[in-house]
Chain A
Amino acid sequence: MKEYFRQSMDWLHTWTGLVVSWVLLFIFLTGTAGYFDTEIDRWMQPEVPAVAAQPPTEQIVAVALARLRQQAPAAERWFIHLPGDRSEPSLRIRWQSAQAADGTRAVNGNEQLDSASGLPTAARATGGGQFLYKMHYRLHYLSKDVAYWTVGVATMFMLVALITGIIVHKQIFVDFFTFRPGKGQRTWLDAHNVLSVLSLPFQLMITYSGLIFFSITLMPLIVAAYYAPGEPGRQSFRSEFERGIEVKPAGIAAPLTPIAPLLNLAQARWGADVQQYRIEIRHPDDANARISLRHAIDSPSHYSEVLVFDGVSGALLTIQPAAASNAKAVRNVFIGLHVGRFADTLLRWLYFAFGLLGSGMIATGLVLWAVKRRQRAEQQNGAAHFGLRLVERLNIGTIVGLPIAIAAYFWANRLLPLDLPQRGAWEVHVVFIVWAIMLLHATLRPPSRAWIEQFGLAAAAFALLPVLNAITTDRHLAHSIAADDWVFAGFDLTMLGLGVVFLWSARKLARRAHTAVLATPLKPGSAVNGSAMLADERANQANPL
């Protein structure tokens, strides 16, 4: 019974792991990049100076309000994100119009402003790190519903693959210290085990919390059972947790109270940096205006307490707790852990590293699947069946081809003409065009060559990015280091590091292919073991290491 259980879980692990893994790899790689979204934003707009001295807060609020009055006088809500925080390095304003009675979507807008002039920042149009981060759950080119369901289903597969992976692992800690390099299939299994076990808590957290993001979409009937079916029910369910003050506009104009004293009050309570506060103004310039203040969060609880003021008199009306209930608090912690907004520099790098480990776990699992079957096919002297060849090709075009496509996103940022219409959208098109080319390349070339060629290309695409940056901007690596600009220097160095890893892989594979070619004529006719070794060698040419 026990053996049957393990075998069935092994089977389930193999297939749930395989079927959606390329989508998962896309989600993992773009999501991992997303942990440095604002840093990437800044690298992709080199015109925006690294450190701008900020005027006094009072003045920043004034220019933001002036711009909002000009851009969105009729909006229901205004938001001001004060500059200085990691996630908001520049002053940003957002606005939202009221939802029309006929159910059409509210009109939203947002602008990044120069905090001195109050005018939009003059910088190239770019998708930035935000687009890269968004891709990991919005995919791209797909409608919201299709994207959420696709990502949700893939995530559910991931959850099952994780749990079954733990079950089939008999000696989880012994295996953790086991790595046997250069042993073909066994090496891939070891690598897969080490990567998975090392990052297991993170993978479980990120997967389950990922599902929680979509819980209402994926499990609509649970909500529908107690609320109205469909969107109206979901809205009334959500509104039960709304912490905003529901108040109708009076329709009478009234001047807005000065915001600076409210900020001082908040600072006396929270103590945190004023730069990390978010200001929301509901029904601006109306007699029923409300101003609420939040602060950036330094813990995974994700939401901050909210101070709500009367927008005309400036009186403090209520203090809303960070979570309306225990269930909500649990949900907030999952969301907060997933997003990692609270993470400081060290923790942010850990998030990034765990994201890469997760990507490595998926990639090694995929390669292991192919190596195993390639070996079996070679030993049986049969040709590789279509499924195996498909997986091998998808592996190359995604494990290496997708990183190349992401590098191409950064190349496009520097090389596309600055006045190109829809420039930001074209940067993203480049990602998918390059990915498609890499998949095509992987199908046209023999696998062993395709691996080496794509690793080589990936090495160049990443390692040369700092060079491209040096040519196209005046903020090259040496300048960034001298200027203590660690956003730019960190980006350049990370790209260089990734380039080195890809170069190392390319060289290792090239050397292996070379020795395999030399060894082949020496082996024929040897014992059964010998031919098995040969098959192993050939399997390894089709699948690296």
Chain B
Amino acid sequence: MSNDRQPTASYRLAIASRITAAILGGYALATLFSIALAGLPAAHRADSVLAALLLSFAIYAAAILWAFAARSAWLAWLGLLVPAVLSSVSIWLLR
């Protein structure tokens, strides 16, 4: 990944996949995770929504780092997908 002198086609594809995972996948995860957080029992819904909004960018940033830190592009996607599914389940349960 650090050697960008003669990138092969598969290297380019993997990078494109990671970038997509980071930007779109990360955004989706940040949104779902934050919605799940906001749904936790709270005295005032507006407060928990605001708290989730405040945290959402940290979650997004962490997801972006993960998309590039993972050993492979597949793993990058998987690592975003699992918490996204768990968040969705939690949203559904707390509904």
Residues of A whose CB lies within 8 Å of any CB of B are: 4-5, 7-12, 156, 159-160, 163-164, 208, 211-212, 215-216, 218-219, 221-223, 225-227, 237, 240-241, 325-328, 330-331, 334
Mask for B29-69, Cβ within 8 A of A = 1, else 0? 01100110011000011111111111011101100110011
Interchain nearest-CB distance for B59 vs A (Å): 10
Which of A8, A10, A221 meets B31, CB within 8 Å? A221
Residues of B within 8 A of A164 (CB): 65
On whether the beta carbons of A237 and B46 are closer than 8 Å, the reply is yes
| 6 pairs of A and B residues whose beta carbons are closest in the complex | A240-B46, A327-B50, A215-B53, A327-B51, A7-B2, A327-B47
On whether the beta carbons of B47 and A12 are closer than 8 Å, the reply is no
Other A-B pairs beyond A8-B2, A159-B61, A227-B49, 8, CB < 8 Å: A12-B68, A240-B46, A241-B50, A325-B46, A327-B48, A327-B50, A331-B54, A334-B54
Which of B38, B45, B57, B68 meets A159, CB within 8 Å? B57
Interchain nearest-CB distance for B94 vs A (Å): 11
**For the complex, what is the distance from the CA of A330 to the CA of B50, rounded to whole Å?**
10
On whether the beta carbons of A331 and B50 are closer than 8 Å, the reply is yes
A328 to B, closest residue via Cβ: B50
Q: Which of A159, A221, A226, A327 has the most CB of B within 10 A?
A: A327
On whether the beta carbons of B69 and A5 are closer than 8 Å, the reply is yes
Which of B31, B47, B61 meets A219, CB within 8 Å? B31
Residues of B within 8 A of A226 (CB): 35, 38-39, 45, 49
B32 to A, closest residue via Cβ: A221
**For the complex, what is the distance from the CA of A160 to the CA of B64, rounded to whole Å?**
8
Which of A10, A160, A208, A219 meets B53, CB within 8 Å? A219
CB of B9 closer than 8 Å to a CB of A: no
**For the complex, what is the distance from the CA of A216 to the CA of B54, rounded to whole Å?**
10
Which of B31, B34, B61 meets A160, CB within 8 Å? B61
Residues of A within 8 A of B91 (CB): 225
**For the complex, what is the distance from the CA of A219 to the CA of B30, rounded to whole Å?**
9
On whether the beta carbons of A215 and B69 are closer than 8 Å, the reply is no
On whether the beta carbons of A163 and B61 are closer than 8 Å, the reply is yes
On whether the beta carbons of A222 and B31 are closer than 8 Å, the reply is yes
Residues of A within 8 A of B45 (CB): 226
A164 to B, closest residue via Cβ: B65
What size tier do the contact residues of chain B reach?
Answer: 20 to 34
Given known A-B contacts A11-B1, A208-B57, A331-B54, A222 and B68 have beta carbons under 8 A apart: no
Q: Which of A164, A223, A328, A330 has the most CB of B within 10 A?
A: A223
Given known A-B contacts A11-B1, A222-B38, A222-B53, A325 and B65 have beta carbons under 8 A apart: no
Interchain nearest-CB distance for A16 vs B (Å): 8
**For the complex, what is the distance from the CA of A73 to the CA of B31, rounded to whole Å?**
45
Interchain nearest-CB distance for A303 vs B (Å): 14
Residues of A within 8 A of B30 (CB): 219
Given known A-B contacts A7-B2, A222-B34, A160 and B46 have beta carbons under 8 A apart: no
On whether the beta carbons of B65 and A219 are closer than 8 Å, the reply is no
On whether the beta carbons of A225 and B68 are closer than 8 Å, the reply is no
Residues of A within 8 A of B2 (CB): 7-8, 10-11
Residues of A within 8 A of B31 (CB): 219, 221-222
A223 to B, closest residue via Cβ: B49
Interchain nearest-CB distance for B37 vs A (Å): 9
Given known A-B contacts A219-B34, A226-B38, A9 and B61 have beta carbons under 8 A apart: no
**For the complex, what is the distance from the CA of A163 to the CA of B61, rounded to whole Å?**
8
Interchain nearest-CB distance for A544 vs B (Å): 25
Residues of A within 8 A of B44 (CB): 240, 325
* CB-defined A-B contacts under 8 Å, sample of 5: A8-B69, A9-B65, A12-B65, A12-B68, A226-B39
**For the complex, what is the distance from the CA of A9 to the CA of B64, rounded to whole Å?**
10
On whether the beta carbons of A237 and B54 are closer than 8 Å, the reply is no
**For the complex, what is the distance from the CA of A325 to the CA of B45, rounded to whole Å?**
11
On whether the beta carbons of A221 and B35 are closer than 8 Å, the reply is yes
On whether the beta carbons of B46 and A222 are closer than 8 Å, the reply is no
Residues of A within 8 A of B1 (CB): 4, 7-8, 11
B57 to A, closest residue via Cβ: A211
Residues of B within 8 A of A219 (CB): 30-31, 34, 53, 56
Given known A-B contacts A160-B61, A215-B54, A327-B54, A9 and B69 have beta carbons under 8 A apart: yes
